[in-house]
Amino acid sequence: MQKIKLFVMDVDGTMTDGKIYIGRDGEIMKAFNVKDGQGIALLQSNGIMPVILTARKSKIVENRAKELGITEVHQGSKDKVKVLSYLCEKFNVTTNEIAYIGDDLGDLLAMKAVGLSFCPADSVNEILKCADIKLNHNGGEGAVREAVEYLLNITINNN
């Protein structure tokens, strides 16, 4: 396996528990796990770029990305494979150098296109069947951190 250079994350159901709280004026809340945030910091300190890729648009996601120092954020992306191609060109990487974590059907084609794919334990069946690594944690409950630790472990052991 080639060295992973980009770690691409879906948001709802992966970085969060998938619940979206919507009030009269729109989306008001999402819950993120602080351990996942620390995992993203570990990625960055090990030279792996974290990327957010989500089909929804949310100011909350924008704020969380800024807080974590994630500069590559793609919201409102219905064609995630097209964004992966863009990322490959922009950062001069191959799809084999990309890891992806997703939980639902909108992630399926992207997960099949990358070098290594992860899914939270509570992902939909189609995703559970296609992911390279099925995580023990649910989305929003440390799944991203678990994937990062797995990824860093294989990266360190392959060097």
Residue 156 has pLDDT above 60, yes or no: no
Compute CA 150 distance to the chain's CA centroid, rounded to the nearest angstrom: 14
How many CB atoms neighbour CB 117 within 10 A?
24
pLDDT, residue 25, reads 86
Quickly state the pLDDT bin for 28 (edges 50, 70, 90): confident
Per-residue pLDDT reduced to its tens digit, 38-78: 999 999 999 999 999 999 999 999 999 999 999 999 999 99
pLDDT, residue 107, reads 98
Per-residue pLDDT reduced to its tens digit, 72-105: 999 999 999 999 999 999 999 999 999 999 999 9
Mean pLDDT of the chain: 94
Residue 159 has pLDDT above 80, yes or no: no
pLDDT, residue 1, reads 53
Where are the domains positioned within the chain?
7-157
Q: What is the pTM of this model?
A: 0.94
Domain 7-157: which CATH number of 3.10.129.10, 3.40.50.1000, 3.30.56.10, 3.40.630.30? 3.40.50.1000
Q: What is the mean pLDDT of residues 25-30?
A: 88
pLDDT, residue 27, reads 82
Residue 153 has pLDDT above 80, yes or no: yes
Say how many residues make up the chain: 159
- Which residues is 134 bridged to in the sheet? 119
DSSP track, 28-93: EE----HHHHHHHHHHHHTT-EEEEE-SS--HHHHHHHHHHT--EEE-S-S-HHHHHHHHHHHHT-
Quickly state the pLDDT bin for 135 (edges 50, 70, 90): very high
